Chains A and B, each alone.
Chain A
Amino acid sequence: MSALVQFRDLNVSYGALKALTGVSGEVLPGATGLLGPNGAGKTTLLKTLLGFLVPDSGQMRAFDLDPGTAPLDVRRRIGYMPENDCHVAGMTAAAFVAYAGELSGLPRDEAVSRAHEVLYYVGLGESRYRPVDTYSTGMKQRAKLAQALVHDPDLLLLDEPTNGLDPQGREEMLELIRDVAQKRGISLVLCSHLLRDVERVCERVIVFDRGRVAAAGTIAELTGPRRAVFEVRVKGDLAAFTAALAAEGGECSAADDGLRVLLPEGAGAERILRAARAAAVQVRRLKAAGETLEDVFLRALGAGA
């Protein structure tokens, strides 16, 4: 599978502030998540890809083109949904999306026809003749997605697409994005600080932390059986149990129903039982579990600290 985007030893800065420091990675066809806390460098990577920022050093290629020297050829194959509001004041959604299509190089007739189709697709068909200024936050997010999709890009860049949405709106947006990636065959990069969003949509993830790539790979690889994870509920002195577990090389964190215990690779449940005996607590529940993306995320951030 050839990469759509590749970046090697990329350094990007805003004046004196270094935003990306020697990052390397690639975006393969399918859905890729860029994960990291605010200010980690996710949006900077997208802006470099769009040719808005020129790297201080390193190399970036998109569709075998250099965004720095051929930004127009790269941008015509990309659909970008920015994090913040974006619409043209006074325009209806239908006019706005058609306009966006035309700006991407579609002929006028085709842009108008596709604008209507895409607006129906994102669920704004009935309100497409309303000015975007009057839309709710959720509707504006959908209009933003529509303008990014109208020219049928090869790669969709979604920057925090669920920002400001209520739980139902968030579910619908994620469902829509998943549909774009899985059924419509459009590759996408989902940039988010929300693990759940990335887990729901993406097959691969690149974790950013303070301008560096902290971890990268498929979600299955990253959350695979690298460390043994158990869900445990105990009765007794929790602090003593935690200390005993730490002596066994384990870490634990609070979970919905008890504790989530992570043991070193290859370790088994006997360490938990040993720790329970040492702390004189009663084990009420012990269940093997998998490492979640959150564990990977926290581990990656912890390693970089």
Chain B
Amino acid sequence: MPIYDQRYRRYEARNPLRELRFWPITREALKLVVARRAFLLLLVAAWIQFVARTIQVYVVTRFPDAGRVLPVDGRLFGEFLSGQLGFALLVSVFGGAGLIANDLRTGAILVYLSRPLTRVDYILGKLAALMSLNLFVTLAPALMLWIVAVSLAPEQFASLKLMWLPLAIVLHSLVISLAMGLMALAVSSLSKSARVAGLAFAGLFIGLEIARGVLRGMFRTPETGLISLQGNLHALGNALFGIQHRFFNQPWPLAALALVVMAALCLWVLRARVRAVEVVQ
């Protein structure tokens, strides 16, 4: 049968546009990323620290003397989230680098932007997908760990004194996920190759940290840490969980401000790069 003889059905219904227009973008991005077996393994591996910390909490609740070597208190969660930062980096590199770069390479950006979607919907959809993945390796295990700790040592963790812990966990996880997500997407929008974008993001993250180390060696002031994303995230976490750290000790308000500036820079890059028309001046 010739193709033009086949049926084409007109669609009369015109539903109002959905409120969360970005949701299909988030869902499909997650489906495509999670479909890779290696990435699933990475997500599973990100829970290894959770298992180790659970054992630590269990051992300390059974043998209180062990608490002198492996203290179990509010700082445990700050250190846990700091440890998860490495996985957040890997998730952002392997899960986030291609989110916009692939759309630029295959021309899919026009498929999105010629629909009833704004650029904000598009960026929000991609960011929500990457943040969900990052929250899966930060917020989810940290909250689970807190639940385990409350169950094993209710007298310690369910006390009013530590009631701020879940809030601090949520806040720090959100800051990590948002900062990593925005930076990964901004770098992704600068390339048409997911591989190049992934390497560039990892290089930027590690490079800024190396620069922080060099500047600290030269000037010996904690404020040098403000140029590093990792440094600022650590500093904020240390402030939230009451940790005194030898290296990441820049003042937390400045670290928060530096993160806001980095986020604004990423949004500026995204605004310039995510467009349907390349303007040639």
Contacts and interface: CB of A to CB of B under 8 A. Distances in A.
Contacts of A184: 8, 10
B17 interface: yes
Contacts of A53: 277
Nearest to A95: B28
A50 B114 contact: yes
Interface residues of B, number: 41
Nearest to A105: B17
A183 interface: yes
B11 A151 contact: yes
B32 A91 contact: yes
Q: Which of A76, A87, A88, A152: most chain B CB closer than 10 A?
A: A88
A13 B141 CA distance: 52
Q: Which of B8, B35, B107, B118: most chain A CB closer than 10 A?
A: B8
A29 B179 CA distance: 49
Given A89-B102, A121-B8, A72 B3 contact: no
Given A86-B106, A105-B116, A184-B8, A121 B3 contact: yes
Contact of B3 (A89, A123, A147): A123
A73 interface: yes
Interface stretch (A172-180, A250-258, A267-275): A172-180
A99 interface: yes
Contact of A89 (B4, B108, B275): B108
A303 interface: no
A103 interface: yes
Contact of B277 (A52, A71, A172, A179): A52
Contacts of A225: none
Nearest to A88: B108
Contacts of A14: 277, 279-281
A178 B4 CA distance: 9
A185 B8 CA distance: 10
Interface of B is mostly: loop
A87 B11 contact: no
Interface string B14-30: 11011000001100100
Given A120-B6, A121-B3, A176-B3, A88 B116 contact: no
Contact of B10 (A108, A133, A152): A152
Contacts, number: 130
B271 interface: no
B41 interface: no
A191 interface: no
Contacts of B7: 117, 120-121
A78 B8 contact: no
B205 interface: no
A222 to B, nearest CB: 27
B111 A103 contact: yes
B36 to A, nearest CB: 9
Contact of B28 (A85, A88, A121): A88
Interface string A147-160: 10101100000000
Interface in B223-281: 275-277, 279-281
B274 to A, nearest CB: 12
Nearest to B28: A99
Q: Which of B15, B107, B114: most chain A CB closer than 10 A?
A: B114
Given A47-B277, A76-B116, A100-B111, A88 B3 contact: no
Given A14-B280, A82-B110, A105 B18 contact: yes
Q: Which of B3, B10, B276, B279: most chain A CB closer than 10 A?
A: B3
A167 interface: no
A16 interface: yes
Given A103-B117, A117-B7, A88 B111 contact: yes
Nearest to B115: A103
B195 to A, nearest CB: 12
Interface in A131-155: 133, 147, 149, 151-152
Contacts of A56: none
A47 B276 contact: yes
Contacts of A102: 24
B6 A121 contact: yes
Nearest to A183: B4
B113 interface: yes
B18 to A, nearest CB: 7
A85 B107 contact: yes
Q: Which of B118, B275, B276: most chain A CB closer than 10 A?
A: B276
Contacts of B13: 110
A103 B3 contact: no
List of 6 A-B pairs having minimum Cβ-Cβ separation, nearest first: A179-B4, A86-B107, A152-B11, A15-B281, A123-B3, A80-B114
17 contacts: A14-B277, A72-B118, A75-B116, A76-B116, A85-B106, A86-B106, A88-B102, A88-B103, A88-B108, A91-B32, A105-B15, A105-B17, A105-B116, A106-B15, A117-B9, A152-B9, A175-B4
Interface of B: 2-4, 6-11, 13-15, 17-18, 24-25, 28, 32, 35, 98, 102-103, 105-108, 110-118, 275-277, 279-281
